[in-house]
Structure 1
Amino acid sequence: MANRWKRRPEGSNWGDFGPDDELGRLNLLTPERVLAAVREVRSGRSFCLSLPLDLPGGNLLNPNRFPPERHVRTRKEGRSAINYPLNLENPDYGDVVSDDAVTLYTQYSTQWDGLCHVGHHFDADGDGVAEPLYYNGFRPGADVLAPQDEGGPAARRLGIEKMAATGVQGRGVLVDLHAHLGRERTLVGYEQLMKVMEADGVVVEEGDMLCLHTGFGQMLMEMDGRPDAERLHNSCAALDGRDERLQRWITESGIAVLVADNYAVEAFPNAAAGGGCCAALPLHELCLFKLGIHLGELWYLTELAAFLRAEKRSRFLLTAPPLRLPGSFGSPLTPVATV
C-alpha cells in the first residue's frame, strides 16, 4: 500500500478492507448477511432481472457500444456449425449439433461496472502532481493495462473476475421510483429519495444491495430493439450525482452495491456550473473510485417491482455474479431475485 499511495482521497475507504483489496464494499456480503438474505425468501418465486442482451438495440444510447454479433464457423466439408451432423459418413443418421460464437460489448446491456471501469486524477503520493488512479490506488500501466501496454488490454487488478469469484449474493432492497414519479425525466436527490423510501416503508441497512426501479428497462422492452433517441435521453428518473447530501447518504448507508434499471444510475450528462474534473459522472467517481461500490446498470426490475408492491415488501434474495472473465472492465449478467 505504501508503494501505491501515501494519502487517500477525502471520503474514500481505501485501505479499510486491506492494503491490496480489490472487492470494495462487496466485503460486506458476509456469510451472516447472506443468511439474512435467504430468510427474505417466502414464496420461492424467482425473477430474471436481465434485459435481453440485444437491448437497447442500435447504439443511440451509447455510440461506443454495439449489439451482440453472432458468428458461425464452417466445419468439415464446408458445412455450417449449425445443424452439423456428427456422422459425416451418413449425415442423414445420428446426432446433429449447433455451435456459435458471439462478439459482445460487455457493457452494452444489463451489466456490472467493474472497479477498474472509472478512475480519477488524484495526488496520492503527495508530490503536488495528480496522477490517474483507480480504487485503492491501483494504477494505469501497471495494474490496468491499455492495448499498448505489455499484456494489455486487461485489468491485472480490479478485474471483474474478482467480483464473480465472490458469488455476489445478498439481500436486495428495491426502491420503486417509477411508482411515484412515472416516466418523466426527474433528477432524484437525497430529499426525494428519502420521501419515496419513507412512503413505501423501505429500510436500507449496511451490506444491502440497493436497486432503483425507474421504468427505463420496461421502456426499452416496449421499444423492442427500435429505440427512439428522444425518449432514451429524456425519460425516467435518475439519481442527481451532484447532490452532496445524496453522496453523503450513499457513503454512510453502507450499501454493498448500487443498481438501477436506467442507463448510468445517475443522470448523464449532469453538467456542473463552471465544469471541472469528472463533471459528467460524479457518482461513478464516488462509488467506483472512492468507495469500491460496484454499479449495476440497465437491469430489468419492473416485474419484480410489481410483485413486491403487491406484497407490500421491498426485500429479497439477490444473486448477481458477472461473467468470470479475467481482466475485463465490466460484464453482462443475468441477475436473479428470489422472493
Structure 2
Amino acid sequence: MPSNPRWARRPEGSTWGDFGPDDELGRLNLITPDKVRAAVAEVKEGRTFCLSLPLDRPGGNVLNPRRVPPVLTPTGTAEAPRFNATLCAEDASLVDVVSDDKVEICLQYSTQWDSFAHVGALFDVSGDGRPEPVYYNGFRAGADIVGPRDAEARGIASGAHRLGIHNAAVHGVQGRGVLVDLLSLFGRERHLVGYDDLMRAMDAQAVTVEEGDILCLYTGFTQVVMEMNGTPDGTILGKSCAALDGRDTRLLQWISDSRISALVADNYAVEHLPAKRLAATTQAAMPLHHHCLFRLGVPLGELWWLADLAADLRAAGRSRFLLTAPPLRLPGAVGSPVTPIATV
C-alpha cells in the first residue's frame, strides 16, 4: 500500500496514493496523451454536439432546495447599468455602445462536474479508532477543504484549497466518451440500474469500455426536465428515467475494475436518491458519490444533455466520440458548470 503522511490507512479498494501522495486528479490521470490521440481518432465527420442544458434549467429548486437558478444582471449601478451604454457619454466623438454583465450562480445547479471536494466521509485515516472528516486521498476537512467558520478562525480564505475543480481544468478534460443508451431499454419510468442491467445494455449495444474512457449514461431525464419549461414537477422527476443503484456492490466493483476516468449521466446525481437504507449502522447516504468521489477519484457529471448525441450515434451504429468538457478554472470551487462538446 502506498504510504502517505496524511493517512495511515485508506478505504478498502480505494485509489488513494496510487497516483502519488499529493494527487488531486484521481482517475483523470488515466487520460494520457495516448488516450487523447485515441479519442481524436474517433472523429469521423467533424460534427459537434453541445451537451449542456441552458444554465437556467431545470428551473426552480425542486431538485435541490439549496440550488437556485442563476441571476444575470448588468455591471455598474442601478442608476447607470452597463448595458446598451455609450462608452463615454462625455465624449460625443466616440460611437461605441457596450454591454457588460455579471452572474450569481450555484455552480452545481445545471449541467455540471462534481469535484472530489464535493463529497467526503467520516473515516479512520489514522487507524486509532476515531473517524475524521476527510476527502479523496486523505485531504482534511477544515485544513484542506475550508468552510467559512474555519476560514474566519484561521484568517484564510474559505474554499477547496486542495481537490478543487480547477485541478481538472488545468489538466484538461478531453478524452474518449462512450455512451450507453439506458432510455431505449428502460423507458421513462424510474428504474434502478444495477450491474446486470448495465451489462445487458452494453451487450445489446455492443458497447466496450477501456481504461481512461469517460462513460456517459443516457436516460432521457433532461428531456423530461426541458419539457417542463422551467417549472419542474419534483414528484414526476423523482419517478422519471433510469438511475444507477448505488447500493449494488457488483456495479460499484465494475466501476472500480473498468478504470473509467469519469462517469456522466443526464440525470440528477447519476445515482438514485434517496438510496435504500442498509441494516448496517454506518453507511453513505450517497453510495455512488462515496465510491466515485471519495474512494476512487472518479469525477461525476450530472444533468448533461445527451439526447441529440444519442440519436446521432444510434443512427450511425456508434457509441464512441471525442469529448471535450473542461470545468471552469475557478480556484477553490467544489463544482463547476460545464458546456461539454462531443465531436463525432
Q: Deviations over 1:220-270 (max 9, x none)?
A: 111121111221111000000000100110000000000000000000111
Equivalent residue for 1:88?
Answer: 89
Three-state SS of the structure 1 residue aligned to 2:149 is coil
Three-state SS of the structure 2 residue aligned to 1:149 is helix
Three-state SS of the structure 1 residue aligned to 2:330 is coil
Alpha-carbon distance, 1:275 to partner = 6.2
Q: TM-score, normalised by structure 1?
A: 0.97
Which residue type is aligned with residue 271 of structure 1?
A: K
Checking the alignment, whether the CA contact within 8 Å between 1:271 and 1:279 is kept in structure 2 is: no
Equivalent residue for 1:140?
Answer: 141
Q: What is the aligned-residue RMSD (CA, Å)?
A: 1.4
How many Å separate the matches in 1 of 2:15 and 2:318?
32
Which residue type is aligned with residue 74 of structure 1?
A: G
Alpha-carbon distance, 1:72 to partner = 2.1
Equivalent residue for 2:115?
Answer: 114
Asked if residue 253 in structure 1 is aligned to residue 255 in structure 2, the reply is: no
Instruction: Provide closer, same or farther for how the CA distance between residues 72 and 278 of structure 1 changes in structure 2, counting only shifts above 3 A.
Output: farther
1:61 to 60, 63, 68: 63
Gaps of 5+ in 2: none
How many Å separate the matches in 1 of 2:4 and 2:150?
24
Gaps of 5+ in 1: none
Q: Deviations over 1:26-63 (max 9, x none)?
A: 00000000000000000100000000000000001110
Alpha-carbon distance, 1:181 to partner = 1.0
How many Å separate the matches in 1 of 2:121 and 2:132?
8
How many Å separate the matches in 1 of 2:246 and 2:80?
53
How many Å separate the matches in 2 of 1:277 and 1:67?
34
Equivalent residue for 2:320?
Answer: 315
Equivalent residue for 1:299?
Answer: 304
Checking the alignment, whether the CA contact within 8 Å between 2:284 and 2:290 is kept in structure 1 is: no
Equivalent residue for 1:124?
Answer: 125
Which residue type is aligned with residue 162 of structure 1?
A: N
Equivalent residue for 1:178?
Answer: 183
How many Å separate the matches in 1 of 2:308 and 2:257?
30
Equivalent residue for 1:72?
Answer: 74
Alpha-carbon distance, 1:91 to partner = 5.9
Q: Deviations over 1:134-193 (max 9, x none)?
A: 000000111000001232421110011001001100000000001111101000000010
Q: How many residues are matched?
A: 338
Q: Deviations over 1:81-136 (max 9, x none)?
A: 11010131356961100011100000000000000000011111111111111000
Three-state SS of the structure 1 residue aligned to 2:264 is strand
> Identity of counterpart residues, as a percentage?
62
Alpha-carbon distance, 1:70 to partner = 1.5
How many Å separate the matches in 2 of 1:227 and 1:179?
23
1:336 to 335, 341, 344: 341
Asked if residue 200 in structure 1 is aligned to residue 205 in structure 2, the reply is: yes
Checking the alignment, whether the CA contact within 8 Å between 2:179 and 2:218 is kept in structure 1 is: yes
How many Å separate the matches in 1 of 2:177 and 2:235?
32
Q: TM-score, normalised by structure 2?
A: 0.95
